[in-house]
């Protein structure tokens, strides 16, 4: 079963969980399963059109899934996805 690692800022919306084991054959199915399990995650991952927010990056290993097949990237049983929200701010 693929795993989804939840970054610290999103853990309050996933009942404090840091890793979720979820059914899914591709990235979209795993994210849908995460939102089904923890509905509060949806507004942080997806916009009103159910598209992944532009500042949310999903990695499979070392590769951004956008550089693969996007949300349709196929997964193996032992794959781990990582949500990496973009960070901005501070002073130059």
Residue 89 in this model has a pLDDT that exceeds 60: no
pLDDT recorded at residue 86: 76
Full set of structural domains in the chain with CATH: 3-85 (3.10.20.30)
Instruction: Give Cα 92 distance to the centre of its chain.
Output: 29
pLDDT digits (tens, 9 = 90+) for 42-85: 999 999 999 999 889 999 999 999 999 999 999 999 999 999 97
pTM score, whole prediction: 0.89
**Which tokens in the block code for residue 39?**
């509905």
To 10 degrees, the CA torsion angle through 6, 50, 30, 11?
20
Alpha-carbon gap, residue 52 to 43, rounded angstroms: 10
């Amino acid at each position: 079963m693929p795993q989804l690692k939840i970054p610290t800022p999103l853990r309050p919306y996933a009942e404090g969980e840091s890793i979720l084991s979820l059914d899914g054959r591709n990235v979209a199915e795993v994210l849908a399963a995460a939102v089904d399990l923890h509905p509060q995650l949806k507004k942080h991952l997806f916009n009103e059109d159910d598209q992944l927010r532009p500042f949310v990056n999903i990695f499979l290993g070392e590769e951004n899934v956008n550089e693969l097949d996007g949300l349709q990237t196929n997964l193996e049983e032992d794959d781990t996805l990582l949500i990496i929200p973009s960070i901005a701010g501070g002073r130059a």
